[in-house]
Amino acid sequence: MSTTKNYHWRIAGFYFFYFAFVGMYSPYWSLYLKSIQFDAVQIAILMSVMPMMRMLAPALWGWLADCTGKRLLVVQLAALCSALSYLGVFATTGFYGMLLVLGMMSFFWSASMPLVEATTLTYLGKHAAHYGRIRSWGSVGFVVTVLGLGYAFDTIAIAWILWVGMALKLGILLFARQIPPTEVLAHHTDSQPIMRIVSQPQVLVFFGACFLMSVAHGPYYTFFSIYLVEHGYAKSAVGWLWALGVVCEIGVFFLMPWLTRRCTLPHILMVSLACAVLRFLMIAWLVDSLWLLLVAQALHAATFGAFHAAAVALIHDFFQGRHQSKGQALFGSVTYGAGGMAGGLMSGPLWQHWGASAMYSCSAGMALLGLLLIGWKLRAN
């Protein structure tokens, strides 16, 4: 038991630095792109590169990990190549150069998380309900970065973000070498083609709802910081608003064992989608009210925290044995990849031609469609 506890910090450290990078990238990278004179459509395209690679690359990496049985080696190789690719941001401020660099960096960066998620759940075994306690360290990394940079960028140039990103990449690389090895147990579905699992109606409905939830969040991750700054919020306030959502997310991660004893995973998904509808409508139309914006950000506990924990647990149930890595990779590709890319790409034209309120109202509509999809399947059963 003590050995198991000693290994927790290794996985937690990887989550910390991985999501610290997200805490740098999602809130502030769009501000950096704006500072080097990219317009709204160019920013939307560049911010969609990472979810696009999360759609294309994880399936390849998951297949490679499951076929070779070298899951951790793939994680370490991807972390190294991602750090090396990131160096290109120091060399270009042109649109096509930035597109190429972010594409290469994201191709390798997107490989790690599905494989680490599969490793974490395998490592926890019958204690998988405690996944959130390890994953919460990623949220801590996000909060530390988003708050620290929010205050820093009120006094220093946004261009310093390049060096912060490099330091975080090195942290990811360091902890990729610390993750403990795990043994993938045989399962009776090992001989089945993975598409037989995917084609099950409940799995298709689940993927569809997760895709729509990610589409709904695409405009949030692309333009929320710019939206707040244009409404008069200081960058430090932007950091606090991002951090509030993630602090609430940490709380729900610790509550997940209690929640899963009292609610089914599909019902947790439904409540999360309903909260997303409310949240994005509040962001769309009530941004000038700080108190209501605080409520909207607190709902991140449901729209990401509870939703993500329940979704990862369902994937672990759907895809067993040698399909674990491919299942987590497919989940990342369809949801955070394809969904995030679609949401990010649609956000640019919506922002430019219809305005932020219409854009975030569309986000609420996507979450509502996901809620109806899950609700229809539950009633059908």
In a domain, 188, yes or no: no
In a domain, 315, yes or no: yes
Tens digits of residue pLDDT in 218-253: 999 888 988 999 999 998 899 899 889 988 988 998
- What's the domain count of the chain? 1
**Quick one: average pLDDT of 101-125?**
84
Q: Which two tokens stand for residue 174?
A: 């360091």
pTM as predicted: 0.77
Phi first, then psi, for residue 157 (nearest 5°) are -70, 145
Tens digits of residue pLDDT in 13-69: 999 999 999 989 988 898 899 999 898 889 988 988 887 888 888 777 877 777 777
Phi first, then psi, for residue 320 (nearest 5°) are -110, 170
In this prediction, residue 183 has a pLDDT band, given cuts at 50, 70 and 90, of low
Contact between 206 and 214 (Cβ < 8 Å): no
In a domain, 106, yes or no: yes
Query: Which among 211, 359, 219, 363 has a CA at the least distance from the CA of 277?
Result: 363
Structure confidence at residue 321 (pLDDT): 67
Structure confidence at residue 188 (pLDDT): 45
Contact between 19 and 286 (Cβ < 8 Å): no
Phi first, then psi, for residue 92 (nearest 5°) are -145, 145
CATH code assigned at 307: 1.20.1250.20
In a domain, 61, yes or no: yes
In a domain, 319, yes or no: yes
Structure confidence at residue 373 (pLDDT): 93
Q: What is the rounded CA–CA span in Å between residue 181 and residue 118?
A: 12
Tens digits of residue pLDDT in 83-100: 999 999 999 999 999 999
Note down the domain range covering 279: 2-176+193-380
Q: What is the rounded CA–CA span in Å between residue 203 and residue 374?
A: 11
In a domain, 119, yes or no: yes
Q: Given a cut of 70, is residue 137 above it in pLDDT?
A: yes
Query: Which among 112, 114, 55 has a CA at the least distance from the CA of 312?
Result: 114
In a domain, 181, yes or no: no
In a domain, 170, yes or no: yes
Rg, the chain, Cα only: 20
Cα–Cα distances in angstroms (integers) from residue 222 to residues 2, 49, 65, in the given order = 42, 11, 31
Query: Which among 295, 299, 278, 263 has a CA at the least distance from the CA of 360?
Result: 278
